[in-house]
């Protein structure tokens, strides 16, 4: 990292070249007050709080718009600077309502904090008529009190730059400026980032309104359980109830994770499922048609006896163990160990559909290097195949956008569905439904371009250009969804060899050509073409090196790195632990369900609603389950599957369990327990442990989950050297540190299979050419079956069942 030397308040400071003065001051321990400055957003310099005196410049300068240069002399603590800050605070307070007693933000309000730190304790403004406007709700999740606004415009910038939604904007002029949207009601994906970054109580979370005061709140960082990105959330609890989850609190504290200040609607607004009334609170046992509550001892004993009976009468393999993809590593490990040692069955699998990424295929030819969010943010080129990260992996979508915006990364999109990320793409190909795999065929073999283009119903020229661009790029992050299957998925491992890293000159020329093209691009926000990147000319001059100040970007060990957009928060963990049919050599989940009453006589289902997940085939699955001799379900809610069970064990949610999970970047992260178990629920691993002991096999763990992880670290490949305390102190640790290249013989086979696949694509298949990109959040209801009072607002269709309105629950599944 190149550095410069400058002087701040008489002290010499060494700083990264090009870094903003405000960040450099903070790194040196001098906190400059600010409202409009926010790392990751374009510089604005409108609040005038961060003014400092820079030698040789006539007026006070804003530190947030000033990159440091060699020999700069800065004064931040003179009387002139202090008076100006106090004046700015006084200006802001002159129209600010005295709402602190009733404002949610009090106690963690940046305006309060900066007034105390830099303002004066008197006011000269005696207004008869402050511009009072009533507080109003402007979206299902946002309250807005316009009078509290300091017009820092963090919210509008976040919506434009991080989310690319432009849902919220400023209206009116001058001192009548308000934050609103045209029509008054904000139509957006409800990510809530705008509420988190707001320094005052202007934007507030609806579910959290009047629930707690910050000094009543205990906050602990944990990891979100909804998608495979693995964002950290700061979970706020009050009296041992989980009341909110945010990316950052009003003091700027975050969960310290890979997502920095970013979070999506799911991570933020759906935590109310934890305390919802529908949770299973006690163990239940079937008596006839009903499930009746009982004690843990009884339920465990009963289950143990029945499972032992099945084992002795039909043999070990007659029992299957199915886990949910969201269960933590420790839970998965216990289930696997239980299956192998206690039951003696190879039929252990985590629930995954045919239309999810088949990790076995992905890893078939070695271990392709996995990309973390940091890699995506620093890639030269990003290839997005299939999926829609805006919907399903919002942090990845954010990283892609960030890379394009801040680093001029080249984005290439191949998808059969409309996606908002196409707006940032250099080339976006909308392909025939189901033909994304053909793209891999074209990448691996130049001669296959024509056939692949036809199969995908795109032009061979565009396809060729994309292939060339990827060939000449230095570091490429390939982000892919479940549209890649079979040979296409396996073929990814061969990209490194076929589109090998270019020589330094080729890469440099390509980079220069691209920069040149960007420099020629006429920028306009209102053109009907997709808008160009980096609208604000100032961003072009000061690109942010990394999202974290003075952090080094991660190292790339190869040209390609992959982000498999897995469906569940711990799919990769389940796979690596061995809780997956191809790894354990047994039947897959669907095979087990099909074999109910035949090969499979008993099932132990942990955390998964197999009936609900089957959608329209749910009735058929139910019938299958009815054929079992015995069904044990450990669950949070009385799902359809739980209703079929003979024994239901209440399990904890992510907020009540401690453990680890692995995200789609191969990072192991610590999930912390933030509240004690609700009612009589117990952690999944503990239930399995107790069950095993009662069946006569002590799996070796007492009562501490870190013992489980210690054994994982000792026994499972990729986890060596890890421990809970290391994770707690050092942050995420990378699993799968090795990467191996595929063997040569396999490549011809892949090419052949790919050619067959391309030939087999139905030319009559349709292509979705719609302009309108899906409103973010519109497909959520397809993945998450049920909805709570608040999370109901995330999706539109009403859920009606049996003629009455359900109060169902959205929870990670």
Partner 1 sequence: MTRVLTTRFDLKGQACDLDVYLGSGGYQALEKTLKEFTPERVIDEVKKSVLRGRGGAGFPTGLKWSFVPKESKRPKYVVCNADESEPGTGKDRDLMRYDPHLLLEGMAITAYALNGAPNNYIYIRGEYWYIKEILERAIAQANERGYLGKNILGSGFECNIYVHPGAGAYICGEETALLESLEGKRGHPRLKPPFPAVVGLYGGPTVVNNVETLMAVPWIILNGGEAYKALGTEKSGGTKLFTVSGNVARPGNYEVPMGYPMSKLIFEDCGGIPEGRKLKAVIPGGSSVPIITADEADRCNLDYESVAAIGSMLGSGGVIVLDERADIFESTRNLTHFYHHESCGWCTPCREGTRWLENVFDRMHRYEGKPGDIELLYDLADKILGKSFCPLGDAAAMPVQSAIDKFRPDFERRIKHNLVQIQAAD
Angstrom distance (rounded) from CA 35 to CA 22: 12
Residues 601 and 166: their CA atoms lie apart, in Å, by 55
* Residue of the chain from 79, 290, 312, 526 that contacts partner 1 (CB under 8 A): 526
Query: According to CB under 8 A, which one of 513, 524, 737, 770 is a site residue for partner 1?
Result: 524
The smaller minimum CB distance to partner 1, of residues 197 and 223, is found at: 197
Q: Which helix (H) or strand (E) holds 431?
A: none
Q: Does 20 bind partner 1 (CB under 8 A)?
A: no
For residues 461 and 366, is the Cβ–Cβ distance under 8 A?
no
Residue 726 burial (C-beta neighbours within 10 Å; 0-12, 13-18, 19+): middle
- Verify binding: residue 529, partner 1, rule CB under 8 A: no
What pairing do the DSSP bridges indicate for beta strands 348-350 and 381-385? unpaired
Please tell me whether residue 32 binds partner 1 under the rule CB under 8 A. no
Residue 151 makes contact with partner 1 by CB under 8 A: yes
Q: Which of 106, 460, 540, 591 binds partner 1 (CB under 8 A)?
A: 540
Angle formed by the axes of helices 329-337 and 684-694, to 10°?
A: 20
Burial class (CB in 10 A: 0-12, 13-18, 19+), 813: buried
Residue 13 three-state SS: strand
CB atoms inside a 10 Å sphere around CB 738: 10
Please state the closest distance from residue 158 (CB atom) to partner 1, in A.
Answer: 17
Which tokens sit at 35? Answer: 């409202």
Q: Which is nearer to partner 1, 541 or 623 (CB)?
A: 541
What is the nearest approach in angstroms of partner 1 to the Cβ of residue 125?
Answer: 6
Q: Give the other-Cβ count within 10 Å of 762's Cβ.
A: 11
Nearer to partner 1, 174 or 183 (CB): 174
Binding residue for partner 1, selected from 295, 459, 521, 725, defined by CB under 8 A: 521
User: Which residue's structure tokens are 């020329």?
Assistant: 509
Q: Does 170 bind partner 1 (CB under 8 A)?
A: yes
User: Per CB under 8 A, does 513 bind partner 1?
Assistant: no
Task: Candidates 140-148, 192-200, 285-293, 538-546: pick the segment binding partner 1 (CB under 8 A).
Answer: 538-546
* Torsion region of 607: left, alpha or beta (phi above 0 gives left; psi -120 to 50 gives alpha): left
Least CB distance to partner 1 at residue 177 (A): 4
Candidates 101, 183, 288, 537: give the one binding partner 1 (CB under 8 A).
537
User: Does 528 help bind partner 1 (rule: CB under 8 A)?
Assistant: no
For 667, counting Cβ atoms within 10 Å of its Cβ (0-12 exposed, 13-18 middle, 19+ buried), the class is: buried
Confirm or reject binding of residue 60 to partner 1 (CB under 8 A).
Answer: yes
Q: What's the rounded Cα separation, in Å, for the pair 222 and 203?
A: 24
Nearest to 565 by CA among 354, 772, 388: 388
Min. distance of Cβ 720 from partner 1 in angstroms? 51
65 binds partner 1 (CB under 8 A): yes
Separation of alpha carbons 307 and 316, rounded Å: 10
Q: Which of 30, 150, 304, 413 binds partner 1 (CB under 8 A)?
A: 150
With CB under 8 A as the contact rule, the residue among 516, 548, 717, 762 that binds partner 1 is: 516
Q: Residue 800, interface with partner 1 (CB under 8 A)?
A: no
Q: Which stretch binds partner 1 (CB under 8 A): 13-21, 447-455, 534-542, 787-795?
A: 534-542
Based on the shown chain and the rule CB under 8 A, indicate whether residue 91 belongs to the binding site for partner 1: yes
Cβ 142 to partner 1 shortest distance, Å: 21
Establish if 122 lies at the interface with partner 1 (CB under 8 A). no
Q: Determine, following the binding rule CB under 8 A, whether residue 47 of this chain makes contact with partner 1.
A: yes
Q: What is the widest separation between alpha-carbon atoms in the chain?
A: 91
59 or 804: CB nearest partner 1: 59
Q: Does 79 bind partner 1 (CB under 8 A)?
A: no
- Decide: is 82 part of the binding site for partner 1 (CB under 8 A): no
Q: Kindly indicate which of the ranges 82-90, 373-381, 389-397, 769-777 contains the residues binding partner 1, using the contact rule CB under 8 A.
A: 82-90
Whether 60 contacts 53, CB under 8 Å: yes
Q: For residue 304, what are its two tokens?
A: 């143990």
Strand-pair partners of 649:
634
* Residue 637 per-residue DSSP state: B
Stretch that binds partner 1, among 122-130, 429-437, 469-477, 744-752 (CB under 8 A): 122-130
Of residues 76, 84, 664, 788, which one binds partner 1 by CB under 8 A?
84
- Exactly one of 11, 78, 172, 725 binds partner 1 (CB under 8 A); that residue is 172
**Identified binder of partner 1 from the candidate list 48, 148, 567, 613, rule CB under 8 A:** 48
* Of 15, 43, 404, 792, the one binding partner 1 by CB under 8 A: 43
Work out whether 182 is an interface residue with partner 1 (CB under 8 A).
no
Q: Where are the beta strands (DSSP E) in 546-699?
A: 560-564, 602-606, 630-635, 647-650, 659-662, 667-671
Helices 296-314 and 684-694: angle between axes, nearest 10 degrees: 60
In the numeric block, the tokens 């980032």 are attached to 193
Query: Which of 122, 124, 277, 804 forms a contact with partner 1 (CB under 8 A)?
Result: 124
Q: Which stretch binds partner 1 (CB under 8 A): 10-18, 168-176, 694-702, 798-806?
A: 168-176
Closer to partner 1 by Cβ: residue 151 or 222: 151
Q: What are the C-alpha distances in Å from 324 to residues 65, 266, 569?
A: 48, 18, 10
**Quick check: 347 binds partner 1 (CB under 8 A)?**
no
Q: CA separation (Å) from 629 to 323, 561, 625, 626? A: 19, 46, 9, 8
Q: Which is nearer to partner 1, 95 or 707 (CB)?
A: 95
Query: Considering CB under 8 A, how many residues would be counted as binding partner 1?
Result: 44
Supply 352's token pair.
């995954």
User: Applying CB under 8 A, which residues contact partner 1?
Assistant: 43, 45-49, 51, 59-60, 65, 84, 87-88, 90-92, 94-95, 124-125, 127, 150-151, 170, 172-177, 516, 519-526, 536-538, 540-541
């Amino acid at each position: 990292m190149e550095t410069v030397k400058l002087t701040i308040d008489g002290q010499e400071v060494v700083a990264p070249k090009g870094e903003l003065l405000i960040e450099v001051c903070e790194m040196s321990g001098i906190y400059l007050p600010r409202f409009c400055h926010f790392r990751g957003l374009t510089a604005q310099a409108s609040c005038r709080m961060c003014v400092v005196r820079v030698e040789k410049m006539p007026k006070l300068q804003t530190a947030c718009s000033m990159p440091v240069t060699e020999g700069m002399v800065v004064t931040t603590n003179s009387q002139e600077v202090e008076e100006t800050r106090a004046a700015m605070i006084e200006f802001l307070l002159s129209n600010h309502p005295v709402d602190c007693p009733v404002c949610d933000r009090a106690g963690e309000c940046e305006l309060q904090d900066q007034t105390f730190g830099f303002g004066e304790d008197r006011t000269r403004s005696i207004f008869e008529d402050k511009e009072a406007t009533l507080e109003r709700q402007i979206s299902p999740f946002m309250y807005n009190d316009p009078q509290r606004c300091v017009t820092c415009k963090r919210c509008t910038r976040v919506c434009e730059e991080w989310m690319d939604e432009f849902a919220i904007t400023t209206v009116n002029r001058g001192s009548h400026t308000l934050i609103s949207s045209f029509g008054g009601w904000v139509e957006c994906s409800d990510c809530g980032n705008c509420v988190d970054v707001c320094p005052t109580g202007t934007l507030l979370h609806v579910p959290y309104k009047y629930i707690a005061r910050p000094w009543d709140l205990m906050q602990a960082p944990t990891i979100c359980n909804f998608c495979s990105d693995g964002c950290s959330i700061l979970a706020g609890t009050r009296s041992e109830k989980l009341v909110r989850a945010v990316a950052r609190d009003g003091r700027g504290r975050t969960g310290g994770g890979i997502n920095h200040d970013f979070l999506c609607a799911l991570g933020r607004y759906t935590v109310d499922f934890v305390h919802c009334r529908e949770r299973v609170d006690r163990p239940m046992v079937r008596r006839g048609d009903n499930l009746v509550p009982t004690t843990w001892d009884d339920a465990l004993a009963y289950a143990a006896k029945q499972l032992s009976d099945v084992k002795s009468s039909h043999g070990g393999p007659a029992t299957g163990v199915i886990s949910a993809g969201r269960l933590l590593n420790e839970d998965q490990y216990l289930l696997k160990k239980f299956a192998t040692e206690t039951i003696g069955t190879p039929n252990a699998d985590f629930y995954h559909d045919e239309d999810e990424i088949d990790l076995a295929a992905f890893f078939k030819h070695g271990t392709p290097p996995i990309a973390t969010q940091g890699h995506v943010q620093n890639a030269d080129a990003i290839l997005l195949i299939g999926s829609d990260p805006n919907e399903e992996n919002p942090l990845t979508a954010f990283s892609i956008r960030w890379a394009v915006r801040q680093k001029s990364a080249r984005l290439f999109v191949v998808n059969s569905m409309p996606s908002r990320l196409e707006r940032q793409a250099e080339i976006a190909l909308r392909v025939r439904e189901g033909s994304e795999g053909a793209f891999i065929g074209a990448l691996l073999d130049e001669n296959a371009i024509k056939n692949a283009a036809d199969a995908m119903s795109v032009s061979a020229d565009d396809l060729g250009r994309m292939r060339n661009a990827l060939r000449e790029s230095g570091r490429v992050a390939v982000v892919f969804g479940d549209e890649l299957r079979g040979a296409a998925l396996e073929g990814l491992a061969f990209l490194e060899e076929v589109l090998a890293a270019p020589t330094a000159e080729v890469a440099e020329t390509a980079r220069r050509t691209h920069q040149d093209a960007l420099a020629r691009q006429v920028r306009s926000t209102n053109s009907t073409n997709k808008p160009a990147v980096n609208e604000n000319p100032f961003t072009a001059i000061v690109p942010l090196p990394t999202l974290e100040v003075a952090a080094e970007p991660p190292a790339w060990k190869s040209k390609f790195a992959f982000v498999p957009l897995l469906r569940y928060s711990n799919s990769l963990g389940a796979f690596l632990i061995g809780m997956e049919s191809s790894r354990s050599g047994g039947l897959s989940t669907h095979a087990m369900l099909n074999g109910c009453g035949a090969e499979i006589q008993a099932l132990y289902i942990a955390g998964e609603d197999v009936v609900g997940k089957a959608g329209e085939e749910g009735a058929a699955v139910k019938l299958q389950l009815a054929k079992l001799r015995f069904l044990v379900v450990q669950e949070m809610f009385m799902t359809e599957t739980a209703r079929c069970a003979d024994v239901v064990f209440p399990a904890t949610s992510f907020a009540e369990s401690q453990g680890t999970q692995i995200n789609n970047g191969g990072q192991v992260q610590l999930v912390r327990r933030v509240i004690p178990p609700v009612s009589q629920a117990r952690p999944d691993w503990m239930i399995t442990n107790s069950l095993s002991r009662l069946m006569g096999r002590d799996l070796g763990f007492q009562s501490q989950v870190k013992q489980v992880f210690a054994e994982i670290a000792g026994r499972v490949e990729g986890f060596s050297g890890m421990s809970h305390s290391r994770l707690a102190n050092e942050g995420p640790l990378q699993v799968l540190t090795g990467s191996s290249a595929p063997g040569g013989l396999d490549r011809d086979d892949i090419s052949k299979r790919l050619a067959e696949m391309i030939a087999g694509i139905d030319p009559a298949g349709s292509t979705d050419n719609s302009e309108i990109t899906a409103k973010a959040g519109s497909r959520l209801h397809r993945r998450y079956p049920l909805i709570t009072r608040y999370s109901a607002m995330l999706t539109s269709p009403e859920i009606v069942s049996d003629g009455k309105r359900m109060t169902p629950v959205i929870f990670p599944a």
